Structure 1
Amino acid sequence: MTKQYLENHKQYFLEKGLTVINSIFSDDEIEKITKSIAKADASKENFRKSADVFAIRQFLKEIPEIKDLIFNDTIKTIVRKLFGDKYFAVKSIYFDKPETSNWYVAYHQDLTISVDKKMEIAGFGPWTAKQNQFAVQPPLPFLENICTIRIHLDDTDEYNGALKVIPGSHTKGIYRPETMNWKTEIEKFCDVQKGGIMIMKPLTLHGSNRTTDGRRRRVIHIEFSDMELPEELQWSERMN
């Protein structure tokens, strides 16, 4: 992975709000990751299971031994070169769309961050709380600063729920899907191979269609920032 190769991905990422890099994890590494997930205690409150999705919130905290498998040298290099030297993980989720899932997601931006408590701070709100986990919409600069890596444990395309995105929409601030001009916006499906990653900005409008070909889709979603929160507020999953 040459310096120029990463620089090209960085430029595309900054301009379009996303990029896909395949062949980051070997089949052997993916197998170790999936075995580690399978051994976890799924009865905990951060594990959510339904007919349409299996999800683990605070994933890196719930399965701490998985950190060494995920943060290999390539991922560390990508974080440094594409995001910056001071970026750290602030949020992690695992989700598995089973083969029979008919779950789809409408176009949206990711507008909240996970924090350790609820406080009255100017510019932060609205708030939500689930199972003693607090999420809040922060001021725009925090959202513009976050970078997300999505690690794909299965081949993913438009037929089994790959993300569809509106490239460049991350530059428009808070951008409501209902105000989009579909004559000028172009939709793109983000195919990712097993062991590849998709990197995106949370303000990039994204959604996904229902699975139509009976293949599962498992993804590890990790958000990174290099900004400290104000006053006594902390990122709930901060991890260097």
Structure 2
Amino acid sequence: MTKQYIENHKQYFFEKGLTVINSVFSDDEIEKIVKSIRNADNSRENFRKSDDLFAVRQFLKEVPEVKDLIFNDTIKAIVREVFGEKYFAVKSIYFDKPETSNWYVAYHQDLTISVDKKLEIQGFGPWTTKNNQFAVQPPLPFLENICTIRIHLDDTDEYNGALKVIPGSHTQGIYRPDTIDWSKETEKFCDVQKGGIMLMKPLTLHGSNRTTDGRRRRVIHIEFSDMELPENLKWSERMN
């Protein structure tokens, strides 16, 4: 993967709020990642299992052996060249939409961050607390700074729940889905091959349709930032 190739993706990413890079992980690397997930102790409270979804919150903490598999030379280069030298991981989730799962996700922006405690700080709120984990909507500059990598463990297209996005919507601040002007905006499906990644800004409006062809979709979602939080507030999953 040449520096110019990454640079082209960087320009598109900051203009449109997303880009897809395929062939980042080999089939062998994906198999090792899948095996690590399969072997993890899924009785813990950060593992959520239902007929529709298997999800792991704080994924890099819960399945630490995947770290070396995920942060291969290509991913490190992409973080460094596209996001910036000082970016670190701040949130990680694994989710598996099994073959029987058939729910859709309405258009939304990712507006909260995961932090270690609840503090009254100007500009931070509203707060939510679930299983002793704290999430809060921070001031806009924090959201504009975050960059997300979504690693695809399966081929994904519009028929098995690939993300649909509104390119460029990340530049418009908090953008309520009910105010989308469809005469000006265009919807795009983000097909990603197994072993490929999607880079996304959390303020890019995104959603997904129901699965129509019975194929599963497994994705690792990791958010990065290079901003420290104010006062004594800390990212709950900060990891260099």
Q: Same fold (TM over 0.5)?
A: yes
Report the aligned-residue RMSD. 0.4
Residue 34 of structure 1 and its aligned partner are, at CA, apart by 0.2
**Residue aligning to 2:130:** 130
User: What amino acid is the match of 2:158?
Assistant: E
**1:115-154 equivalence runs, <5 A:** 115-154=115-154
Residue 45 of structure 1 and its aligned partner are, at CA, apart by 0.2
How many aligned positions are there? 240
Encode CA deviations 1:41-61: one digit per residue, 9 max, x unaligned: 111000001111100000000
**1:1-240 equivalence runs, <5 A:** 1-240=1-240
CA distance in 1, matches of 2:110, 2:148: 10
Contact 1:57 1:94 in 2 (8 A): yes
CA distance in 2, matches of 1:61, 1:109: 25
Encode CA deviations 1:184-226: one digit per residue, 9 max, x unaligned: 1000000000000000000000000011000000000000000
Encode CA deviations 1:1-39: one digit per residue, 9 max, x unaligned: 111111100000000000000000000000000000000
User: TM-score under structure 1 normalisation?
Assistant: 1.00
User: TM-score under structure 2 normalisation?
Assistant: 1.00
User: What amino acid is the match of 1:173?
Assistant: G
Structure 1, gaps ≥5 residues long: none
User: What amino acid is the match of 1:149?
Assistant: I
Residue 120 of structure 1 and its aligned partner are, at CA, apart by 0.1
CA distance in 2, matches of 1:135, 1:121: 13
User: What amino acid is the match of 2:37?
Assistant: I
State, as a whole percentage, how many aligned pairs show the same letter.
87
For the residue of structure 2 that corresponds to 1:32, the secondary structure is: helix
Which 4+ residue blocks in structure 1 deviate beyond 4 angstroms? none
Encode CA deviations 1:99-126: one digit per residue, 9 max, x unaligned: 0101210000000000000000000000
User: What amino acid is the match of 2:6?
Assistant: L
CA distance in 2, matches of 1:104, 1:60: 26
